[in-house]
A = this chain, B = another copy of it.
């Protein structure tokens, strides 16, 4: 186990009706003029926007709005948000939505304290150590952005998808009401679960020895996903299922299971390259790629880890041939995603076979990716071919 520092400043208000605290909490952080950020019209149509707005008004807090933030949020939305912050002298941000809206709001929060184009923060040309205070109202269980410092934003002009990890953009508080995810359609629910599970695997597969406790915690989150994803898809208003998935999404990427470990993130880099070229939903891309990364990574050195995954998470019965048990775990991963209605092959989501070498090149643009397995161009291409 490596040394680590735990810092979890974000407060979470979890459960049905927790939105009622939003006004007093914004006040607590000195918020008087709020910018509410959101993406799809669903937020307005289903009344979540109005509920937030009325709670703010009740406390004498004024607000303006920035809607239409895209999945894979764009730097243009961040720029527009920063413009609104300056125009209306905004002192607090609320992101109502999933990871994309939250990530854009984090960009706005940081950009508000930067003199220049906020894209500089993502390319590394600029830096800030202070940001506008930010809160989130989560409507999709997937990215974990509601309790971490990550923001991933795309620039269509430069064809780049880049991330910042600033402690100062961690939300002050997040409201996690599982009923807000009742209307998430089956495919998005499934893609969200694939995203959560992928986050866990990127941290579970680590070159760091001696992290037994973290690994068992990771398996706990995976088991929750496996148990509740099929239920949430079949019964979208099953509170227990939605609550367990929402809480799983937060714990999967709030650092809890990463403390004391080097993490991998190789498959994420591959998926980012795929979805940058061919508009593939992030979770769908991960569901396609991860089982093939696993097959690629399974060997004598990694057998213990894959055996643990198979038996502890997928409940594959013990057998003398441990390699066979490990393979069965990977097979069950693939079947699980297929049963959730997710595509299993890159060819199914519009990626042409001829494009694979170019994608592989993009992945390793800045050198090999991953830490559990260091993947060079050849390895990446091999995984892409298996996933095709």
Q: Which residues of A line the B interface, CB within 8 A?
A: 1-9, 11-18, 209-210, 212-213, 216-217, 219-221, 223-224, 227-228, 239-240, 243-244, 247-248, 251, 256, 259-260
The reply to whether B210 and A216 contact each other, CB–CB distance below 8 Å, is: no
Nearest-CB residue, chain B, relative to A245: B213
Q: Which of B2, B13, B216, B259 contacts A220 (CB 8 A)?
A: B216
Q: Contact at A3–B7, with CB atoms within 8 Å?
A: no
**A212-B227, A216-B223, A248-B213 are contacts. A243–B1 as well, Cβ < 8 Å?**
yes
Q: Which of B9, B213, B243 contacts A224 (CB 8 A)?
A: B213
Beyond A209-B240, A256-B256, 20 extra complex contacts between A and B, CB < 8 Å: A1-B244, A3-B14, A3-B15, A3-B16, A3-B17, A3-B18, A4-B14, A15-B260, A210-B239, A210-B240, A210-B244, A212-B227, A212-B228, A213-B244, A213-B248, A216-B219, A217-B220, A219-B220, A243-B260, A247-B260
| B12 near A5: Cβ-Cβ < 8 Å | yes
- Determine whether the beta carbon of B224 is less than 8 Å from that of A216: yes
A-B CB proximity, top 6 nearest:
A3-B15, A216-B220, A210-B240, A6-B12, A213-B224, A1-B243
16 A-B contacts, Cβ less than 8 Å apart? A1-B15, A3-B14, A3-B16, A5-B11, A5-B12, A5-B14, A6-B11, A14-B259, A209-B240, A210-B239, A212-B224, A213-B221, A213-B251, A216-B224, A243-B260, A247-B260
Number of copies of this chain that the complex holds: 2
Within the complex, the shortest CB–CB distance from A226 to chain B, in Å, comes to 10
Complex Cα distance A367/B227, Å?
Answer: 38
Contacts of A11 in B (CB 8 A): 5-7
Contacts of A2 in B (CB 8 A): 15
